[in-house]
Amino acid sequence: MALSGDNPLMGEEENANETAPERRYELRLYVAGQTLRSVEAFSNLKKICEEYLKGRHSIDVVDLMENPKLARGDQILAIPTLIRKLPEPIRKIIGNLADTECVLTGLDLRPRKS
């Protein structure tokens, strides 16, 4: 469920192209209000998605200041946290997502280094 309102982090959703032969990515970003790290994480995620997942993703932003109970379902221990819901398996990335290569590896868009 994407949250909306006056918060610039909320309500940002990019619909995936259902006819694309490539995998569709469902992402959920957990934040706590409009802190600097939360805003940075959202901005970094948006840039990564626009460059590497254009038309193949959706972003769901969950503000735990407004809905703290939503943290239980995905076992959120730190914020900001990005959850890749689809494709499976579920992946978690913690932090402001500034390290693009780390995020791409975490999303399985780049191979892991041995």
> Tokens 């780049």 belong to which residue?
110
Domain encompassing residue 62: 25-106
Does the pTM surpass 0.85? The reply is no
* Nearest of 58, 61, 44, 75 to residue 8 by alpha carbon: 61
Residues 6+ apart with CB under 8 A from 97: 40, 41, 44, 45, 48, 80, 82, 103
pLDDT band at 89 (very low <50, low <70, confident <90, very high): very high
CATH code assigned at 76: 3.40.30.10
Q: Is residue 13 part of a domain?
A: no
**Integer Cα distance of 48 and 26 in angstroms:** 14
**Integer Cα distance of 109 and 66 in angstroms:** 31
Q: Is residue 113 part of a domain?
A: no
Query: Mind listing the pLDDT tens digit for each residue in 21-78?
Result: 578 999 999 999 999 999 999 999 999 999 999 999 999 999 999 999 989 888 999 9
